[in-house]
């Protein structure tokens, strides 16, 4: 089993609480905070750094983590914008298959179109519900509310069999889940959760042929030569997925570059093994106490029905978690320890 570099983790993270809430927001590494301070200070002194280089480095790092060529990755600020981009590309009457109660950023844009046929099914039925009339299957790889993981292999096979495109949101998986983004048509992710980046960083993976997407929010950053695209129409769009870039939140990307480098240093295999071991310890402790979490095998997110109301009490005791639909949601990541698990169990 891959071993996490504990010394490196302790250098980068010094939480003052028992932080078990990465599924909401990941902790920022020390190197990320330092980079953002430096970028802000340089801007205040009238000597701003080339933070577009940080965008390029972040894009390249995300591409490596997703096992796709850099030219397939667009960089922006939110998943909902990229979902909207995909929704806008569909013809009227197109059928979109989604998961019931999936995170709204993954599905809301399809509903708001008003002229699409959107079907919602339970997560466990998503692959079986793909039919010849399905144009797009859109889902989160890991469900935000309870950590359940979709049967991605079955979804891919069903979509391939019926000629449907696939759109996968990996916001709750990128950083620990083994994802080959090249196996899907579109893959989006925010980076402020398991990838430990500041808010304002998100990515979209598109097919080599762009999958029929239209650059509906084109700006100068979308040009093949951005500095030659500042005025008037953009006469030449980027020949890569960069044509779908949003205008970048450069201070966030100054930090993201450092966070993504740390994730690569630690290795997602080691992170996954560490996270799942802690989640397994927590599930075992719950069983000893007669408590049953929502089944989510292979996930570092553990949700316990009926205990969401204890979030405030636990927060006052120094343990940070989430209340999601009445469930107490704990999310275990690389900076957590067995002592964190045991403290939560003792409080419960």
146 belongs to a structural domain: yes
- Based on the domain organization, do 48 and 142 belong to the same domain? yes
Encode pLDDT of 64-92 as tens digits.
999 999 999 999 999 999 999 999 999 99
- From first CA to last CA, the distance across the chain in angstroms is 30
- Whether the full predicted model's pTM is greater than 0.75, yes or no, is yes
- Based on the domain organization, do 240 and 277 belong to the same domain? no
Q: Which residues contact 64 (CB under 8 A, 6 or more apart)?
A: 264
Q: What CATH number has the domain bearing residue 10?
A: 3.90.1150.10
- Based on the domain organization, do 160 and 287 belong to the same domain? no
88 belongs to a structural domain: yes
Encode pLDDT of 316-346 as tens digits.
999 999 999 899 999 999 999 999 999 999 9
- Based on the domain organization, do 221 and 123 belong to the same domain? yes
Residue with tokens 């030219």: 71
Three-class SS of residue 202? strand
Encode pLDDT of 201-232 as tens digits.
999 999 999 999 999 999 999 999 998 999 99
- Look up the domain containing 293 and give its range: 6-29+267-347
- Based on the domain organization, do 17 and 126 belong to the same domain? no
198 belongs to a structural domain: yes
- Based on the domain organization, do 205 and 58 belong to the same domain? yes
Q: Compute the distance between CA of residue 20 and CA of residue 26 in angstroms, rounded to an integer.
A: 9
E strands of the chain, at which residues? 18-19, 73-76, 95-99, 117-121, 136-140, 165-169, 186-190, 202-205, 301-304, 319-320, 322-324, 327-331
- Based on the domain organization, do 72 and 15 belong to the same domain? no
- Based on the domain organization, do 250 and 275 belong to the same domain? no
Query: How far is Cα of residue 165 from the mean position of the Cα atoms in its chain?
Result: 20
End residue of a domain, out of 265, 295, 322: 265
Would the pLDDT of 1 be above 80?
A: no
End residue of a domain, out of 265, 300, 325: 265
- Based on the domain organization, do 162 and 242 belong to the same domain? yes
Contact 76, 116 (CB under 8 A): no
Query: How far is Cα of residue 86 from the mean position of the Cα atoms in its chain?
Result: 17
Encode pLDDT of 126-140 as tens digits.
999 999 999 999 999
Number of H helices, E strands in the chain: 10, 12
- In terms of phi and psi (left: phi > 0; alpha: psi -120 to 50; beta: otherwise), the region of 298 is left
Contact 157, 286 (CB under 8 A): no
12 belongs to a structural domain: yes
37 belongs to a structural domain: no
Q: What CATH number has the domain bearing residue 216?
A: 3.40.640.10
Q: Compute the distance between CA of residue 315 and CA of residue 5 in angstroms, rounded to an integer.
A: 28
Q: Which residues contact 7 (CB under 8 A, 6 or more apart)?
A: none
Encode pLDDT of 255-296 as tens digits.
999 999 999 999 999 999 999 999 999 999 999 999 999 999
35 belongs to a structural domain: no
End residue of a domain, out of 238, 265, 292: 265
> Please, which pLDDT band fits residue 48 given cuts at 50, 70 and 90?
confident
Encode pLDDT of 182-205 as tens digits.
999 999 999 999 999 999 999 999
Whole-number pLDDT of residue 2: 62
> Please, which pLDDT band fits residue 51 given cuts at 50, 70 and 90?
confident
- Based on the domain organization, do 165 and 246 belong to the same domain? yes
Give the whole-number percent of the chain exceeding pLDDT 70: 99
- Total domains in the chain come to 2
Encode pLDDT of 132-181 as tens digits.
999 999 999 999 999 999 999 999 999 999 999 999 999 999 999 999 99
38 belongs to a structural domain: no
Q: Which residues contact 264 (CB under 8 A, 6 or more apart)?
A: 61, 64, 65
The three-state (H, E, C) secondary structure of 130-174, written as one string: CCCCCCEEEEECECCCCCCECCHHHHHHHHHHHCCEEEEECCCCC
Beta bridge partner(s), residue 167: 138, 186
- Based on the domain organization, do 167 and 293 belong to the same domain? no
111 belongs to a structural domain: yes
- Based on the domain organization, do 176 and 71 belong to the same domain? yes
Three-class SS of residue 95? strand
């Amino acid at each position: 089993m891959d071993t996490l570099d504990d010394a490196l983790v302790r250098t980068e993270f010094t939480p003052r609480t028992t932080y078990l809430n990465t599924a909401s927001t990941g902790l920022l590494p020390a190197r990320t905070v330092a980079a953002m301070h430096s970028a802000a200070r340089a801007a205040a002194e009238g000597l701003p750094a080339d933070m577009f280089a940080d965008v390029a480095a972040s894009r390249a790092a995300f591409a490596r983590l997703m096992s796709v060529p850099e030219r397939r990755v667009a960089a922006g600020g939110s998943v909902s914008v990229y979902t909207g981009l995909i929704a806008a590309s569909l013809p009227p009457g197109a059928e979109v298959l989604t998961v019931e109660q999936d995170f709204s950023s993954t599905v809301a844009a399809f509903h708001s179109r008003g002229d699409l046929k959107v079907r919602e099914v339970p997560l466990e039925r998503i692959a079986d519900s793909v039919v010849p009339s399905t144009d797009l299957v859109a889902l989160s790889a890991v469900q935000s509310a309870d950590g359940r993981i979709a049967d991605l292999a079955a979804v891919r096979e069903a979509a391939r069999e019926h000629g449907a495109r696939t759109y996968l949101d990996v916001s709750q998986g990128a950083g620990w889940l083994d994802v080959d983004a090249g196996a899907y048509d579109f893959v989006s992710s925010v980076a402020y959760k398991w990838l430990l980046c500041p808010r304002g960083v998100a990515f979209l993976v598109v097919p080599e042929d762009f999958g029929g997407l239209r650059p509906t929010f084109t700006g100068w950053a979308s040009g093949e030569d951005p500095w030659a695209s500042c005025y008037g129409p953009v006469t030449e769009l980027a020949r890569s997925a960069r044509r779908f870039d949003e205008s970048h939140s450069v201070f966030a990307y100054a930090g993201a570059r450092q966070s993504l480098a740390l994730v690569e240093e630690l290795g997602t295999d080691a992170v996954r093994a560490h996270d799942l071991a802690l989640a397994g310890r927590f599930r075992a402790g719950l069983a000893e106490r007669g408590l049953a979490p929502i089944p989510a095998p292979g996930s570092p997110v553990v949700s316990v029905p009926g205990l969401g109301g204890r979030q405030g009490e636990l927060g006052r005791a120094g343990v940070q978690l989430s209340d999601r639909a009445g469930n107490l949601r704990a999310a275990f990541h690389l900076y957590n320890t067995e002592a964190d698990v045991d403290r939560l169990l003792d409080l419960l």
